[in-house]
Structure 1
C-alpha cells in the first residue's frame, strides 16, 4: 500500500506542544516501533531543525534518524532509505530540494520507497514536492508555480490560512491557467493519500481545513471534510 501524508503546516516544527499530526503519522506506518527518517534538505540541513526533530521523536515510540545530503551517513543512500518505515520531509526551499534530490538520485530512491510501501510524509516543501505542481516562495519574490515529482496528481498549496498571500496567489495561478487544479491545506492540516487518492484529511486545530481549488470559467474553492484529531480526546 502506497501512502503519502502531506501537511499544509503544523507538526513538531510549527506547533511543538501539539503532537496530534506527528503521532497520527507514526500510527499510519502500522509498526509498533517504526524507523522514521527526517530529510531536511529544503532547509539546507538546518542543524536547529534536525535537533527539533529529534527533540520530539526521541520521546515517541519510534526510531528516529535523519539524512543530510551535506553530510551523508553513507554512500549507499538507497539501502539507507529503503530500510526505513517512514520518510518525513521538512520545509524550506522546494526548488533547491528538488535540484539536490535529482542530483543525488534521491527522487528515484524515494519513488522506489513509496512503491515498496514506505510511508512518505512532509510539511510545506515536504508536502508540495510529492505533487505534479506546487505553489512556492522558493524564488524569493512572490509565489510561483513549480513542477515537482508527480507522485500525486494536480497541484498543492500549503499554509493556505497561515500566510495572507497564499489563497489569492493560488486562485490567481489557477484562474490564469498557470497551474493546474489541486488541493490547498491550512496550517494544522494533513492530507492522507492511499495510492493516489485522498483517504482522509485530519487536523490538529479545530477550524483548519483543506480545499479543492479548480477553474470552471471562474475559480471554485470547495471545502473538504476534515476530521479534528483532538475531538478523540474528549
Structure 2
C-alpha cells in the first residue's frame, strides 16, 4: 500500500536559533494527528479485514532506550539481529552531539544507520528520498527527545508525519524517548516553550537571569495519534520552572474534562504518565509496561500511570504494575485503574491483610490497591452465599437484644465445612466527613448474617479475578459508603445479585 504524499507549500522554520516562545506559542492548539480516529487501526486490509496497528517502543526519558534490558526488547521487535536504523533528530534541531549519544547502542551491535536531517530546509531531502529511506530501507525509526512542538510543526510542513504513518503500516518499528515518546500519542505534555528549548540553548541560558529561566509553562499539544491518550513523559520529575510535571498534568486533565463535561457524547480524556526509566511496548493495539530501574524520585520502581477525573472532579493517578508481560488495550488499562479506586472505597478493605496485598503484586495488579477479588472464581462467592443463605423463610432471625444468636438452616441441603479466613482488620474511614450508613431494619437482624457470609468467602492469595459489583460505577455512585459493618453487609448482599 502506498500513501499519496501531501505537498505543503510553506515549510515551518524558526526565525532564529534562539527564539522559541514567540514563534511556537500560537501553534499550541494546532492539530497534528495523522489518524482521523486517534488510537484506532492504521489500516484495515479490504480483502481480509485484518487491522494493522503500529509497533512502538518508547521510554519516559530518551537515554532509557539504551538500558540493556530495554534495548534488547527493541531489537527483538524488529526480528533482525542488526536492523537498519533511521535516526530523526528534529526535536533537538539535528544537533551533532545528540545524534552520537542517541545511536551509540545501535553502532555497538553493527547496525547500519541513516540520519534524516529535516530541521532546516538546506538539509531536508526530497519527498521521494525521504520516502525511500523511511518506508523502503528502514527496519526501525528512532525519534530523539527535545522540542516536541517544533518537531510536529516541521514534520507536518514537509509531509514527514505521513511518512511515519506509512512506515508504521509497513511494519517498521517506531521508538524514542521524551519527545520521541509523547509524539506517538494523541496529545502530550511538553516543555517546548521554555527559554532554553532552542538550538542555542547554552547561549540563551547564560543571557537569562534566574527569574527569566523560571518564567515558562508546560503546554499540552496534539500529536500523531497512534495511541489514544494524553501522554506525560518524565512524569516522575520536576521541570526547570520548579513545577512537578504530574501536578501540571492533573490541572491540564481537569481543564480538558470541564470543557467536555457539557458534551455527553464526547469521550473523556485520560492521561498516560511515563516514568523516566519505564518502557511501553505497543503492538496489535495492546500495551505492555516494563520497568528498568527506580523512579526519578527514588521511591518505587519506574512504571506508567493512568490519570483520570472521578465523579468528584478529583484527578486520580494510578500506577500500573510493570514487568508482568500482560498485554492490555488502553481501555482495559483505564478500566483497571478506575476499578482500583473503587476497590479502595469498598468495605473489602476490612478483610485484606499483607498476604492478600502480596498476592495482588504477584498477579500483576496496579500495586496493592488494584486487588479486584478475594475469590478465585467470580461465581464462587455467589454460589457460597447461596449455599449458606437459604430463603428467608428457612431462617429464624433472633432480635438484636438477644445475646444468643442462632440460625436454623434447611437440613436437606448439604453444608460446606467451615473455612478459616483472615482476621478482620480494624475499621479505617477513608473519608472523615462521610456519614455512617443508616441502621438496618429492626425486623431482620443483619448482624446475624455476617458469620456465614464471612466463613463462606474463601480467600485465595494467588488469584484475584472477581469484578466489582456492576452498580459501583466510578461515575455513578449510588451513595458514599463508610467503612462500617453495616456497609460491609450491604456490599455482600449486593454481590449476591451478580448473575452466575
Deviation at 1:114, TM superposition (A): 0.7
SS at match of 1:214: strand
Answer yes or no: is 1:9 the counterpart of 2:61: yes
What is the distance in 2 between the residues matched to 1:10 and 1:122?
6
Structure number with larger C-alpha Rg: 2
SS at match of 1:213: strand
CA contact (8 A) 1:212 1:222 kept: yes
Deviation at 1:127, TM superposition (A): 1.0
2:306 to 192, 203, 212: 212
Q: Find the counterpart in structure 1 of residue 112 from structure 2.
A: 63
What is the distance in 2 between the residues matched to 1:64 and 1:35?
6
1:225 to 318, 321, 324: 321
Q: 1:47-88 deviations in whole A, cap 9, x for unaligned?
A: 101111333321125322221114246651011101111111
Q: Find the counterpart in structure 1 of residue 150 from structure 2.
A: 96
Q: Find the counterpart in structure 1 of residue 102 from structure 2.
A: 53
Answer yes or no: is 1:80 the counterpart of 2:133: yes
What is the distance in 2 between the residues matched to 1:74 and 1:80?
11
2:244 to 165, 175, 180: 165
Q: Find the counterpart in structure 2 of residue 176 from structure 1.
A: 255
Deviation at 1:12, TM superposition (A): 6.0
Matches within 5 A, 1:147-162: 147-162=222-237
Answer yes or no: is 1:117 the counterpart of 2:171: yes
Deviation at 1:157, TM superposition (A): 0.3
What's the C-alpha RMSD, in Å, of the aligned pairs? 2.2
Deviation at 1:196, TM superposition (A): 3.0
What is the distance in 2 between the residues matched to 1:23 and 1:34?
12
Which one has a larger percent strand, Structure 1 or Structure 2? 1
Deviation at 1:5, TM superposition (A): 1.4
| Equivalences, count | 225
Deviation at 1:180, TM superposition (A): 2.6
Distance 1:24 1:73, change over 3 A: farther
**Where does structure 1 differ by over 4 angstroms across 4 or more consecutive aligned residues?**
none
SS at match of 1:100: helix
Matches within 5 A, 1:15-26: 18-26=67-75
Deviates more, 1:147-156 or 1:73-82: 73-82
What is the distance in 1 between the residues matched to 2:125 and 2:71?
24
Deviates more, 1:73-82 or 1:216-225: 73-82
Deviation at 1:11, TM superposition (A): 2.8
TM-score (norm 2): 0.43
CA contact (8 A) 1:133 1:150 kept: yes
What is the distance in 2 between the residues matched to 1:148 and 1:33?
30
Which one has a larger percent helix, Structure 1 or Structure 2? 2
Unaligned runs of 5+ in 1: 230-234
What is the distance in 1 between the residues matched to 2:132 and 2:185?
24
Higher relative contact order (CA 8 A, sep 6+): 1
Answer yes or no: is 1:37 the counterpart of 2:110: no
Distance 1:131 1:99, change over 3 A: same
CA contact (8 A) 1:203 1:228 kept: no
Distance 1:161 1:228, change over 3 A: farther
Q: 1:80-135 deviations in whole A, cap 9, x for unaligned?
A: 10111111100000110001101110000000111111111111111111111100
Unaligned runs of 5+ in 2: 1-52, 195-215, 258-267, 295-300, 326-500
